[in-house]
């Protein structure tokens, strides 16, 4: 009997048995419903921190460029590039390119830390990505924090075409957060021989339950952005934009609040200084105060979804006046709960 047989011809017992087997097959493949991909921004739709469509220098410490992916070089030099609308496996997508700009024994790598722990303990997972490279040391690696176990995918041939790299591992009982490393590196995330011009370009990065690398799960830009903003959110403003509404509680002191997407933890807040070019507290009677003062954010006022900030030691306001925060140029506020 095949599963293609018309279920109306089967007995009640046979129908139930067939349904159970089909579910078991689907579970084994890891395709049981939506939200199967634990990697965020695996098709590189979101880039809140900048365009990076021109090569940007990597540093020796891991830095977030494209959302949720930290990148660095070790013992060489390299760049990261966000490539738009590339054809991979017959589909149009964005990719992330790491390029070595010097030759030595070292590595270029990108990593995403998956926050969840419990869903992976003692469970089998499969990790995969489409990778284009001219280095046979290109691979992706799962690192189990806590258990301190590294599992490598197959290596790229180095032939300069996109190839599917994948691996499967059953996580340890003491596995902690899962890290996905991708780049030109040794199987244990160590250094390898790299030549100037070696590159690693990746697309469709996925970590899923089960023992089979299934097709990449697409999410809408809005859904992907919301996932990214649980960790990092950039609020951008053009010149003369109204940032938020506040009040002058003293002739020299103003205060305002801001809500944002709820973060995984209490974030840090970074914003421009209080100045004519940065942010200013304005009132109807005092368009640009004679002294902008100093912008401050008290750590005790920051929560997972809002914060309070203000200016002190300014001048030109009247206590009790309604105010608004004005952007004097192109500015942004970074709300950062990455880890």
Q: pLDDT of 245-298, one tens digit each?
A: 999 888 888 899 999 999 999 999 999 888 888 988 888 665 666 667 788 898
Tokens of residue 194, six digits: 């790299």
Same domain? For 131 and 99 the reply is: yes
Task: Give the pLDDT score at 1.
Answer: 44
- CATH assignment at residue 304: 2.60.40
Q: If DSSP codes are grouped into helix, strand and coil, which group holds residue 124? A: strand
Same domain? For 200 and 66 the reply is: yes
Residue where a domain stops, chosen among 189, 209, 228: 228
Task: Give the pLDDT score at 7.
Answer: 41
Q: C-alpha angle 68/71/72, rounded to 5°? A: 160
Distance, in Å, from the CA atom of 282 to the CA atom of 323, rounded to the nearest integer, reads 5
Task: Give the pLDDT score at 313.
Answer: 79
Q: Name 199's bridge partners.
A: 99
List the domain range (segments joined by +) for residue 26: 1-30
Same domain? For 126 and 43 the reply is: yes
Task: Give the pLDDT score at 268.
Answer: 97
Task: Give the pLDDT score at 275.
Answer: 84
Same domain? For 24 and 113 the reply is: no
Tokens of residue 247, six digits: 């009040």
Same domain? For 25 and 46 the reply is: no
Task: Give the pLDDT score at 5.
Answer: 43
- Burial zone of 110 (CB within 10 Å; 0-12 exposed, 13-18 middle, 19+ buried): buried
Same domain? For 77 and 194 the reply is: yes
How many CA atoms are closer than 13 Å to the CA of 285, on its beta-carbon side? 11
Distance, in Å, from the CA atom of 227 to the CA atom of 320, rounded to the nearest integer, reads 39
Task: Report residue 120: phi and psi, to 5°.
Answer: -105, -15
Helices and strands, counts by H and E, the chain: 2, 22
H runs (alpha helix) in 172-309: 221-229
Query: How long a stretch of residues is the chain?
Result: 339
With tokens 């950039």, the residue in question is: 234
Q: C-alpha angle 256/223/227, rounded to 5°? A: 60
Distance, in Å, from the CA atom of 289 to the CA atom of 328, rounded to the nearest integer, reads 13
Same domain? For 26 and 41 the reply is: no
Same domain? For 180 and 136 the reply is: yes
Distance, in Å, from the CA atom of 281 to the CA atom of 327, rounded to the nearest integer, reads 9
pTM (predicted TM-score): 0.87
Please measure the distance between the N-terminal and C-terminal CA atoms of the chain and give it in whole angstroms.
Answer: 52
Same domain? For 96 and 241 the reply is: no
With tokens 């054809």, the residue in question is: 87
**Residue numbers of the chain with a pLDDT score lower than 70:** 1-34, 284-291
How many CA atoms are closer than 13 Å to the CA of 273, on its beta-carbon side? 8
Number of domain units in the chain: 3
Same domain? For 244 and 279 the reply is: yes
Distance, in Å, from the CA atom of 308 to the CA atom of 286, rounded to the nearest integer, reads 22
Task: Give the pLDDT score at 29.
Answer: 53
Task: Give the pLDDT score at 292.
Answer: 72
Same domain? For 274 and 315 the reply is: yes
Q: If DSSP codes are grouped into helix, strand and coil, which group holds residue 139? A: strand
Task: Give the pLDDT score at 212.
Answer: 96
Residue where a domain stops, chosen among 178, 199, 228: 228
Tokens of residue 239, six digits: 């010149």
With tokens 């097959």, the residue in question is: 25
- CATH assignment at residue 128: 2.60.120.260
Same domain? For 76 and 201 the reply is: yes
């Amino acid at each position: 009997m095949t599963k293609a047989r018309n279920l109306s011809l089967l007995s009640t017992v046979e129908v139930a048995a067939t349904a159970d087997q089909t579910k078991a097959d689907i579970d084994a493949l890891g395709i049981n419903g939506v939200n199967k991909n634990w990697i965020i921004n695996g098709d590189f739709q979101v880039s809140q921190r900048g365009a990076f469509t021109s090569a940007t220098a990597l540093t020796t410490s891991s830095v977030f460029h494209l959302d949720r992916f930290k990148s660095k070089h070790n013992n060489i030099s390299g760049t990261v590039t966000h490539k738009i609308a590339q054809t991979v496996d017959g589909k149009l997508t964005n990719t992330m390119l790491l390029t070595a700009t010097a030759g030595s024994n070292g590595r270029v790598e990108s990593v995403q830390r998956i926050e969840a722990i419990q869903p992976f303990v003692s469970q089998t997972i499969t990790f995969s990505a489409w990778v284009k490279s001219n280095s046979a040391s290109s691979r992706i690696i799962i690192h189990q924090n806590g258990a301190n176990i590294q599992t490598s995918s197959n290596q790229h041939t180095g032939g300069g075409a996109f190839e599917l790299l994948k691996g499967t591992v059953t996580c340890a009982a003491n596995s902690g957060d899962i890290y996905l490393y991708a780049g030109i590196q040794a199987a244990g995330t160590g250094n390898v021989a790299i030549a100037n011009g070696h590159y690693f370009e990746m697309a469709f990065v996925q970590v899923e339950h089960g023992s089979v690398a299934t097709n990449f799960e697409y999410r809408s830009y809005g859904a992907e952005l919301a996932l990214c903003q649980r960790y990092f959110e950039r609020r951008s403003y053009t010149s003369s934009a109204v940032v938020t509404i506040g009040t002058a509680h003293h002739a020299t002191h103003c205060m305002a609040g801001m809500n944002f997407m709820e973060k995984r933890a209490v974030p840090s807040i970074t914003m421009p200084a209080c100045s004519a070019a940065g942010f200013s507290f304005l009132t109807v009677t005092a368009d640009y105060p004679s002294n902008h003062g100093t912008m401050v954010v008290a750590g005790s006022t920051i929560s997972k979804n809002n914060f309070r900030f203000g200016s002190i030691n300014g001048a030109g306001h009247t206590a009790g006046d309604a105010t608004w925060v004005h952007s004097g140029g192109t500015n942004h506020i970074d709300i950062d709960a990455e880890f």
